[in-house]
Amino acid sequence: MTQPPSFGGRIGRTWRESQPWWPAPETAPAGAPNILFIVLDDVGYSDLGCYGSEIETPRMDALANGGVRYSNFHVTAMCSPTRAALITGRNAHAVGMGAIAEWSTGFPGYQGRIKPQAATIAQMLAPHAYSSYAVGKWHLANMGDYPTGGSRDFWPLGKGFNRWYGFLGGFIDHWNPDLHEDNHPVQREPREGYHLTADLVDHAIGYVRDHVTSAPGKPWLTYLALGAGHWPLHVPQDWIEKYRDRYNAGWDAVREQRLARQKTMGLVPADTPLAPPNPNVQAWASLSPPERALCARLQETYAGFLSHADAQIGRLVDYLALTGQLENTAIVLLSDNGASGEGGPTGAVNIRRHMSMERETIDYGLEQIDKIGSQYSFPHYPMGWAQASNTPLKWFKRNTHGGGIRAPLVVHWPARIRECGGIRHQYHHVSDVVPTLLDAVGVQPPEVHEGHAQMPLHGISMAYSFDRADLPTRKQIQHFEMAGDRAIWHRGWKAVARHTKGEDFDTDRWELYHLDQDFAEIEDLANQHPQKVRELVDLWWEEAHRYGVLPLDDRDVERSLEWSRRQVPRSFKLQAGMARLDRQLVPPINDRSWRLRAHLREVHAAAHGIVVACGSRFGGYQLHCQDGKAVFTYAVHESLSHRLEVPLPLGSATVEATFTRTGERAGRFDLWANGAHGGTAQVARTWLIFGMSGGLTCGQGNVPVTDECLPPAEVSGLIIEEVVVEVDADSQAEMNAFGAAIQEQ
Q: List domains and CATH numbers for the chain.
A: 34-465 (3.40.720.10), 477-546 (3.30.1120.10), 568-744 (2.60.120.200)
**Distance of CA 582 to CAs 145, 168, 185, 678, 693, Å?**
10, 9, 9, 30, 10
Determine contact, residues 423/469, Cβ cutoff 8 Å: yes
Model pLDDT, residue 2 = 53
pLDDT at 738 > cutoff 80: no
Model pLDDT, residue 730 = 62
Residues 164, 158: Cα–Cα separation, whole Å? 11
pTM comes to 0.95
Determine contact, residues 682/672, Cβ cutoff 8 Å: no
Please enumerate in sequence order all residues whose Cβ is within 8 A of that of 440, keeping only pairs 6 or more positions apart, or say none: 33, 330, 413, 416, 461, 463
Sign for the pseudo-dihedral over CA of 166, 104, 394, 542: positive
pLDDT at 744 > cutoff 50: no
Residue 672's φ and ψ, nearest 5 degrees, are -135, 150
Determine contact, residues 514/525, Cβ cutoff 8 Å: yes
Residues 545, 550: Cα–Cα separation, whole Å? 7
Please enumerate in sequence order all residues whose Cβ is within 8 A of that of 634, keeping only pairs 6 or more positions apart, or say none: 620, 621, 641, 642, 669, 681, 683
132-149 average pLDDT score:
93
pLDDT at 440 > cutoff 60: yes
- Residue 477's beta-bridge partner residues? 490
Model pLDDT, residue 620 = 94
Q: Which pairs from 654-658 meet CB under 8 Å and 24+ separation? A: 654/597, 654/598, 654/599, 654/600, 655/597, 655/598, 655/600, 655/611, 655/623, 655/630, 656/595, 656/596, 656/597, 656/598, 657/595, 657/596, 657/621, 657/623, 657/632, 658/593, 658/594, 658/595, 658/596
Please enumerate in sequence order all residues whose Cβ is within 8 A of that of 69, keeping only pairs 6 or more positions apart, or say none: 50, 51, 267, 408, 409, 410, 411, 422, 423, 424
In the 3-class helix/strand/coil scheme, how is 661-681 assigned residue by residue? Answer: EEECCEEEEEEEECCEEEEEE
Residue 557: its H or E element: helix 557-567
pLDDT at 742 > cutoff 50: no
Determine contact, residues 51/406, Cβ cutoff 8 Å: no
CA 466 to chain centre: 29
Q: Could you tell me the pLDDT band of residue 25, with boundaries at 50, 70 and 90? A: confident
- Residue 670's beta-bridge partner residues? 658, 680
Peptide bond into 25 cis (omega under 30): no
Q: Which amino acid is at 305?
A: F
Residues 325, 347: Cα–Cα separation, whole Å? 42
- Residue 97's beta-bridge partner residues? 110
pLDDT at 673 > cutoff 60: yes
Q: Could you tell me the pLDDT band of residue 401, with boundaries at 50, 70 and 90? A: very high
Please enumerate in sequence order all residues whose Cβ is within 8 A of that of 214, keeping only pairs 6 or more positions apart, or say none: none
Model pLDDT, residue 514 = 98
- Residue 623's beta-bridge partner residues? 612, 632
Residues 701, 625: Cα–Cα separation, whole Å? 12
pLDDT digits (tens, 9 = 90+) for 488-544: 999 999 999 999 999 999 999 999 999 999 999 999 999 999 999 999 999 999 999
Residue 623: its H or E element: strand 619-626
Q: Percent of the chain having pLDDT more than 90?
A: 87
Query: Average pLDDT over the chain, rounded to whole?
Result: 94
**Distance of CA 662 to CAs 245, 376, 524, 729, Å?**
47, 30, 53, 16
Model pLDDT, residue 319 = 98
Provide the angle, in degrees to the nearest 10, between the axes of the packed helices 289-322 and 196-214: 10
Residues 562, 550: Cα–Cα separation, whole Å? 19
Q: Which amino acid is at 518?
A: D
